[in-house]
Structure formats: structure tokens, C-alpha cells
Structure 1
Amino acid sequence: MDWLFIVLIFIFGTLVGSFINVLGLRYNSGLSPVNGRSRCLSCNAELKWFDLVPVFSFLFLLGRCRFCKSKISYQYPLVEFLTGLVFVGVVARQISLWPLYSNFENGMGYCIFLAVYYFVVFSLLFAITIYDFRHKIIPNSFVYWFIGLALFKLFLFMYIKYPGLDNQDILDLFAPLFLFIPFALLWYFSSGKWIGFGDAKLVFGIGALLGFVYGISAVVLGFWIGAIWSIIMLISSKLLKREDSVNMKSELPFAPFLIAGVIIVFLLRIDVMNISSFLGN
């Protein structure tokens, strides 16, 4: 890819990431995510446009408010940077699949459509991540939109391939239920103590988005990432004796780890369980 094109996509991604931060923070707060000026959460000072340049404003201000010098959360530049990175990854993936799309009658349009589609899907997943991290709950409106978009893609692909569907396609069709049922059972029998029903709905959408092989891979990878994160937090809490220490009874958001698994598997096409070999792919 041309470097200028990569930079433009990255900048666009950071701008979207900035909006995702606002959406994640203002949702269910009574504030509109599109109206009203941004303000410092500590001193309530109205921020100027040069205080809101994605990533760079945080670096230029050394992570502190220009007015009251209170610390700015690392969430803001991190979400902006990661959104830009994922957008570049989406475009790179679509370009790598161009030989496949070129066989379609309107291959270029289809390729661009899917890129925009994935921009929307991953923006929604980042919003879910922010909200779950802060409130330990997944908003129904976010997860239902995600499920709807994921099912749209699943049925679109089935329609395009019909009547030439193979066994892998049939497995992909049932992947949402295959992933949802174990999570729903865990939620039911634990009365929501082990896992939230929002996570069960989220993995339903993951199955629809990624299919059988990669959906399972994303969930397994999400468990691994979550386990590693939990161990790191437990050790750091013991060593640093922090006030917000984490223990074995602490409630941790699970959606961010599942979504991290989705992003990694989607961009790198990782089959962590080597399921494809058993299916003859």
C-alpha cells in the first residue's frame, strides 16, 4: 500500500476512535454523543479544538489538562491509536483478498463495501469495550446492533455462495448458536456470577461475524488474554498494594478480552485450535 494512503486511513481511524471515546463515555449519561462541547472531566473547562487532536494532543499536553493540570486517562489516546491501527489492518486485509473479489462482477465495489462494513463493526466493538471496562456491563443497544450487522454479513455470504454451499458454510451458519449455548448455560446455572448474559449475546455475534473456525479461535484467544491479564493484575496488586487492588473475587469485564481475540483472529486469520485441519481445509 502507498504510505500516504496508509497514513490517511490511520488518521481517519483515530478520528473515529475519538468519537468512540465520546460515545462510550456519554452513553446512558444523559449527554448527547454528537451535541455539546467536550469538557475536562475534572475542572469542566471547555476544550478547544487543539486540545482534541487524536493522540497528538495527549502527547503535546503530556497527558494533563491544559487548564487544571489533572491527569488525562490513557484510554483516550489508546482507543484512538488502536482504532487507527485496526482500520489500517482492515484495509490491508481487503487488499490482500482482492484476487478473490476480482472474480465478482462488481468486485471493487464489494471490496470497498466490506471495508466500510468492518469499520462500522469494529467501531461498535471498541464502544462495547470502553463501556464494559467502565461499567462492567454491555449495553443491549450496542450488542444488538453488533449481532444484526454480523448476521447481515453471514446471510449475505450464504446468499452469494448459494447453491454451492459446502460443509464449512453449514458449520458457519450454526456457529452463532454453537458459541452462544455454552455461555448461556454458564450464565443460567451460575445466576450470572460466572459470566454475564451480555457476554453470551456478544459471542453469538462473534460466531456470526467470524464463522465456526475463527469464531471458536477468537473466544479461546479471548479466554487466554483474559487469564493472562487477570494474573498480571493479581500479581501487581500484591506487589504494589494498590487501593484498587484486584483479588480472586473481583468482577472483571470479559467483553474487552473477547473483542481483543476477535481483532487478532480477524486480522491475522489465526486458527488457534487447528480446527481447519480436522475439517479438511
Structure 2
Amino acid sequence: MIEILVTIIGLVIGSFLNVCIYRIPRKESIVFPSSHCPACGRQLTFFDLIPIVSYIFLLGRCRSCQAKISARYPLVELLTGIVFLFLYLKYGYSITFMFITIMMAVMIVVFFIDLDHLIIPDKLVIFASIIAGLMVVYNFFTPLAVYGDSSWWNPLLGALIGSGSLLLVALLGSVLFKTDEAMGGGDIKLMFPVGLVLGWRLTLLTLFLAIMIAGLYGLILLALKKTSRKSSIPFGPFIVLAFLIASIWGYQIIYWYLGVY
């Protein structure tokens, strides 16, 4: 079945995303050298790199030095496989599926890098913007259903709303609260390709969902006394979660809201 193939491809790509998540913040090449144990440096073989399966059979440890392997590796692989499957079930084998799947792969890398290092590398935003730009060009000649209409300016307005809204938050934070931490520059830049890919309708939904999820997460941390009001929480992961939700269930949510209200 094609669904199984898509999931397997997602698992394999998830393995590569692990490399990106580890190396990009360290400014290392994602191509050379080949995958190796970060503890002992031993080059990994094919049997060490089978998504999820290798982790299980190796009991979560390096075959050579027995160093513990983070459970995040199979988690990212599994997550990517599941996300690819859901996107396929939503869009089928289409050009929209190809564009959004590539974009989502980048977003998964953004999620974990921002979570770990509180940064969104420019090279990821640039790559995402290139993919989004190609999608906009394609839409100009052949309108894509993801935008909700055939207007050529729809994705451009989405990018303006996405980045512009967060830029406004940053400016207001700087003026009213005398802080540069109201919104990170990486988040502002990330919303540019997000807006291009989703169009203005789903971009508005993405912003709303990201703010709501981030607010709920912050309240939970405060209630558990795991953070303080002055602590910084990366916003990028919430943009990624909101992007995923909007990509798959966006219009269902919008129609539900309009139907209720």
C-alpha cells in the first residue's frame, strides 16, 4: 500500500533530520563526515541506521562503546513517518503534498533546534523560503486548493500577515515593555515561508493556534512552578505545531468556527 511506503519514506527522512538537528546548530556539515557515534566516533553501518529498528535491537546503546543513544532519535523518526502519513491522507499524491511535506521536514528540524538552543538558523528559513517561493510560482500558473481561492496574491498576503504580526508584537514589546525578548527575530522570519505556503486564511489560524498553545503551555509551567514570568520560552516549536495542525485540519477548524459562531 502507498500509505506504508509513504510512512517508511518518512521514517528514513526522519533519520536524516536527526543529523540536521544535531549538526546544524554546531555549524557542521550535514553531509560529511558520514553518521558516527558522537561518543566514540565510530562510523555507523547500515544496520546501525535502520529507523527505529536499530535502536530497539541495540537496546538504545552504541554497538561499539555502549554509550546511551538518546530516545529522541527514534522519536523524531517515528514522528516524521506519522506526519508524512497524515499529510498523504490529507493531500494524496499531489504537488501540494510534495511542497508541504518538504516544508514540514524543515519545520521538524526547526522545532527541536529551537527547543534545544533557542535559535532558528537562517539557513533553515532560507531553504523553507525557497520551497515556499516555488510553491507560489506554481500557484500562479496552476491554483492550489490549499490557498482556498485562485488569487495569486493570497500567499503573499499570508507572508505579510505572518511576519508582520510577529514584527508588530516585537515592536510593541520594545516600546511598551522596554524589552527585545517579546518576539525572537527567528520567529518573525519563519512566519514568512509559513505564510507563503499556507496563504492568509491558514496563516491567521496558525498565529492564533501558536499563541493559544504557547499560552496554555506557559500557564501549565507556571502552575507547576517549572518557570517564572520572566523566563524565556521558545516560540518556534509552537509555530511548528500550529503549522502542522493548520496544514491538515485548518479548513475543518475554520468551517467549524464559522458554523458555531
Give the drift of 1:30.
4.5
C-alpha separation in 2, matches of 1:220 and 1:123: 22
Counterpart residue number, 1:99:
none
Counterpart residue number, 2:196:
208
Correspondent of 1:86 among 77, 83, 98 = 83
Please tell me whether residue 31 in structure 1 is matched to residue 13 in structure 2.
Answer: no
Give the drift of 1:216.
1.2
Correspondent of 2:250 among 269, 275, 280 = 269
Please tell me whether residue 255 in structure 1 is matched to residue 236 in structure 2.
Answer: yes
> Does the 8 Å contact 1:217/1:270 carry over to 2?
no
- Relative to 1, partners in 2 of residues 1:76 and 1:183: Cα closer, same or farther, differing over 3 Å? same
SS of equivalent to 2:242: helix
Correspondent of 1:136 among 118, 128, 147 = 118
SS of equivalent to 2:26: coil
Counterpart residue number, 1:51:
48
Higher mean alpha-carbon deviation, 57-66 vs 72-81, is at 57-66
Cα distance per residue 1:132-159 (max 9 Å; x no partner): 1221111112112212322332343233
C-alpha separation in 1, matches of 2:60 and 2:215: 29
Normalised by the length of structure 1, the TM-score is 0.77
Cα distance per residue 1:185-233 (max 9 Å; x no partner): 2223435311111111112222211112211112211222223333444
Correspondent of 1:188 among 153, 158, 171 = 171
Counterpart residue number, 1:72:
69
Correspondent of 1:60 among 47, 57, 61 = 57
- Relative to 1, partners in 2 of residues 1:37 and 1:144: Cα closer, same or farther, differing over 3 Å? closer
Counterpart residue number, 1:8:
5
Give the drift of 1:56.
1.9
Normalised by the length of structure 2, the TM-score is 0.82
C-alpha separation in 2, matches of 1:61 and 1:233: 35
Cα distance per residue 1:112-151 (max 9 Å; x no partner): 4333322321111112222212211111121122123223
Count of paired positions:
251
Give the drift of 1:253.
1.6
Cα distance per residue 1:12-70 (max 9 Å; x no partner): 11111111110121115343211223233334444333222112222333333344444
> Does the 8 Å contact 1:217/1:271 carry over to 2?
no
Which amino acid is the alignment partner of residue 125 of structure 1?
M
Correspondent of 1:221 among 192, 204, 209 = 209
SS of equivalent to 1:62: coil
C-alpha separation in 2, matches of 1:45 and 1:6: 35
Please tell me whether residue 197 in structure 1 is matched to residue 180 in structure 2.
Answer: no
Segments of 5+ residues of structure 1 without an aligned counterpart are: 96-110, 239-244
Alpha-carbon RMSD across the aligned residues, in angstroms, is: 2.9
C-alpha separation in 2, matches of 1:148 and 1:65: 37
Which amino acid is the alignment partner of residue 65 of structure 1?
C
Which amino acid is the alignment partner of residue 113 of structure 1?
I
Please tell me whether residue 174 in structure 1 is matched to residue 162 in structure 2.
Answer: no
- Relative to 1, partners in 2 of residues 1:148 and 1:37: Cα closer, same or farther, differing over 3 Å? closer
SS of equivalent to 1:143: helix
